[in-house]
C-alpha cells in the first residue's frame, strides 16, 4: 500500500473517530446552564433570608403608617379637648372621657414607638449576621476561583499534550477513547467547579442585596423613630397640660358649687322662705314665657325675624359651669314634668363684668329686669328659636343692646352680673325651641 493510501486511511479513521467523539466533546466543553437550585442549598437559604427581610420591612412600614395614623388621632383628640377646655364650658364628664381616651391613645403610640426601637435592634442583628455570611461566602468563592484557575493552568498550560495530538497519536480507537476520557473527566470536574462558582456568586449577590436593604431600612427606621419620638414628646407635653387644666377646672367648679350650695343651704334653712322662692320662681318663669311668646309673635308679624334659623349657636361666655340643664338637686328650682326640681338653662360662673356674646345672629326682643330684679337680654333667632341671657349687670356695665336691634353671632350684648336672686356672678343661659325650654348643648 502506498504512502498516499496510508495517509488517506489514517485521515479517514481520524475523521470517523472525531465524529464519534463529537457528542462527548460537545457535552464537556459546550455551553452549560447552572443546575437547578434545590431546597436547602446556600442560594435558597440566602433567597429565603432576602424574602423574609422584605416581608419584615413591609410589616415595619405598615406599623409606621399605623403609628402615624395614631399620632394624628392623638393630635385630633388633644385639639378637640383643648377647644373644650379653653371654653371652660364643657361637660366635665365629657372632657374627662376625652382626656382618658387621649391618654390611652398616647400609651398605645408609646408602645408602637417602643416596638419600632426594638425592630431597629433586630435589623442591626440581621446586618451583623448577613455581614458574617457575606464574608464566609466571599472567602469560599475566592478559594474556588483559585482552585479552578490552578486546574485550568495544570490541564491546558503550555507544554501539555493537546487533545488533538492525543487523538492523532492514538494507536487504536480504544486507546483514543481512553485518552479522551481522561480529558473529559477533567472537563466535568472543571465544569462542576465553575457551576459552583456561578452559584456562589449568585448567593453572594443575594447576601449583598439583603445587606444593603437591611442597612437602608435601618437608616430609614432610625429617622422615622426620631420623628415619631419628637411627635410623641410633644403630645405627652400637651396631654400633661390638658390634665393640669382639667384639674384646675374641676377645682374651680368644685369651689363654685360649694359657694352655691352654701347659699342654697342658707335658703333651705327657712322652709317658708324656700317655698315662697320656689313659687315665685315658677310664677316668674310662666310670666316670662308669656312675655317671650308675645314679643316673638309681634316681631314675626312685623317681619323682623325669620321663620327658621339655619346654623349653630356658640357659648355666650367663658366660665365654669355650675349647673347643667335638666333635673337638679338644688331645692330652689321649681318642679317641671317628672323632675321635682328643674333647671331650664345652663349656669356659667364667671368674674363680674365678663363680656357676654350673642350665641347666634338674631333680633333683640327684650332688654330689662324681671320681677325679681334679674336683668335679662332675650334674642329671637327665628320664630321658633329664642335665647335668654339672665342676671346680666345693669349698673356699672348695663346691656349694650336694645330691643329691636339686630345682632350678629359673637356681638357683645351685656356683661356678667349679680342682678336678681343669685348666689354669685354668673350667666344663666337658656334656649327655647317651639315654646319649650331645651338643653342649649343641642345647638352648639
Q: What is the pLDDT of residues 352-406, one digit of tens each?
A: 899 999 999 999 999 998 877 889 999 999 989 999 999 999 998 999 999 999 9
Look at residue 308 and give its three-state secondary structure.
coil
Residue 147: predicted pLDDT: 77
∠ Cα 144 146 150 (to 5°): 115
Q: Percentages helix, strand, coil for the chain, rounded to the nearest 5? A: 60, 15, 25
| 158 or 118, higher pLDDT | 118
Task: Supply 296's cell numbers.
Answer: 316673638
| 141 or 413, higher pLDDT | 413
Residue 14: predicted pLDDT: 46
Q: For 14-23, how does the pLDDT look when each residue is reduced to its tens digit (9 = 90+)?
A: 444 444 444 4
Burial zone of 329 (CB within 10 Å; 0-12 exposed, 13-18 middle, 19+ buried)? exposed
Q: Which DSSP category does 332 fall into?
A: T
| 399 or 328, higher pLDDT | 399
Check pLDDT > 70 for residue 264. Answer: no
- The interaxial angle of helices 173-268 and 92-156, nearest 10 deg, is 170
Counting residues of the chain whose pLDDT is more than 70, the rounded percentage is 65
Look at residue 406 and give its three-state secondary structure.
strand
Task: Supply 151's cell numbers.
Answer: 486546574
Helices (H), 302-404: none
Average pLDDT of the chain to the nearest whole number: 74
Residue 101: predicted pLDDT: 80
Return the CATH class of domain 271-443: mainly beta
8 Å CB contact between 44 and 206: no
User: Which range (88-97, 246-255, 278-287, 390-399) has the least confidence?
Assistant: 88-97
Which residues fall within 8 angstroms of residue 313, CB to CB, at 6 or more apart? 359, 360, 381, 387, 409, 431, 440, 443, 444
Check pLDDT > 80 for residue 98. Answer: no
Residue 381: predicted pLDDT: 94
Q: Strand pairing of 426-433 and 320-323? A: unpaired
Q: For 129-171, how does the pLDDT look when each residue is reduced to its tens digit (9 = 90+)?
A: 888 888 887 888 788 777 767 766 666 554 445 555 555 565 6
Q: Domain limits of the chain?
A: 1-31, 34-255, 271-443
Amino acid at each position: 500500500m502506498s504512502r498516499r493510501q496510508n495517509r488517506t486511511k489514517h485521515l479517514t479513521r481520524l475523521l470517523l473517530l472525531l465524529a464519534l467523539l463529537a457528542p462527548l466533546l460537545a457535552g464537556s466543553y459546550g455551553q452549560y446552564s447552572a443546575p437547578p437550585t434545590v431546597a436547602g442549598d446556600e442560594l435558597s437559604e440566602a433567597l429565603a433570608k432576602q424574602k423574609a427581610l422584605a416581608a419584615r420591612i413591609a410589616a415595619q412600614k405598615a406599623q409606621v403608617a399605623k403609628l402615624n395614623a395614631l399620632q394624628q388621632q392623638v393630635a385630633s383628640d388633644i385639639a378637640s379637648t383643648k377647644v373644650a377646655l379653653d371654653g371652660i364650658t364643657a361637660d366635665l364628664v365629657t372632657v374627662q372621657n376625652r382626656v382618658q381616651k387621649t391618654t390611652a391613645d398616647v400609651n398605645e403610640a408609646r408602645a408602637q414607638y417602643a416596638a419600632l426601637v426594638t425592630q431597629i435592634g433586630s435589623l442591626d442583628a440581621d446586618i451583623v449576621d448577613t455581614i458574617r455570611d457575606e464574608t464566609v461566602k466571599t472567602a469560599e468563592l475566592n478559594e474556588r476561583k483559585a482552585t479552578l484557575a490552578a486546574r485550568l493552568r495544570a490541564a491546558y498550560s503550555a507544554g501539555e499534550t493537546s487533545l488533538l495530538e492525543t487523538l492523532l497519536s492514538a494507536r487504536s480507537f480504544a486507546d483514543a477513547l481512553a485518552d479522551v476520557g481522561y480529558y473529559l473527566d477533567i472537563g466535568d470536574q472543571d465544569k462542576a467547579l465553575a457551576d459552583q462558582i456561578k452559584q456562589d456568586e449568585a448567593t453572594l449577590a443575594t447576601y449583598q442585596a439583603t445587606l444593603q436593604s437591611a442597612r437602608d431600612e435601618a437608616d430609614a427606621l432610625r429617622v422615622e423613630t426620631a420623628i415619631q419620638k419628637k411627635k410623641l414628646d410633644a403630645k405627652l407635653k400637651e396631654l400633661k397640660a390638658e390634665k393640669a387644666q382639667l384639674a384646675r377646672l374641676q377645682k374651680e367648679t368644685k369651689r363654685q358649687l360649694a359657694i352655691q350650695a352654701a347659699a342654697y343651704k342658707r335658703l333651705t334653712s327657712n322652709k317658708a322662705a324656700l317655698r315662697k322662692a320656689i313659687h315665685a320662681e315658677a310664677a316668674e318663669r310662666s310670666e316670662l314665657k308669656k312675655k317671650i311668646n308675645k314679643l316673638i309673635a309681634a316681631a314675626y308679624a312685623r317681619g323682623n325675624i325669620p321663620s327658621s334659623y339655619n346654623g349653630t349657636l356658640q357659648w355666650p361666655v367663658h366660665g365654669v359651669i355650675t349647673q347643667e340643664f335638666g333635673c337638679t338637686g338644688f331645692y330652689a328650682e321649681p318642679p317641671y314634668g317628672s323632675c321635682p326640681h328643674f333647671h331650664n338653662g345652663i349656669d356659667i360662673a364667671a368674674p363680674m363684668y365678663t363680656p357676654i356674646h350673642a350665641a347666634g345672629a338674631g333680633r333683640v326682643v327684650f332688654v330689662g329686669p324681671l320681677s325679681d330684679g334679674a336683668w335679662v337680654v332675650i334674642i329671637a333667632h327665628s320664630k321658633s328659636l329664642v335665647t335668654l341671657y339672665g342676671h346680666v349687670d345693669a349698673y356699672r356695665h348695663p346691656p349694650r343692646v336694645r330691643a329691636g336691634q339686630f345682632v350678629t353671632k359673637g356681638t357683645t350684648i351685656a356683661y356678667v352680673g349679680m342682678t336678681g336672686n343669685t348666689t354669685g356672678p354668673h350667666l344663666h343661659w337658656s334656649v327655647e325651641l317651639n315654646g319649650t325650654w331645651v338643653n342649649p348643648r343641642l345647638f352648639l
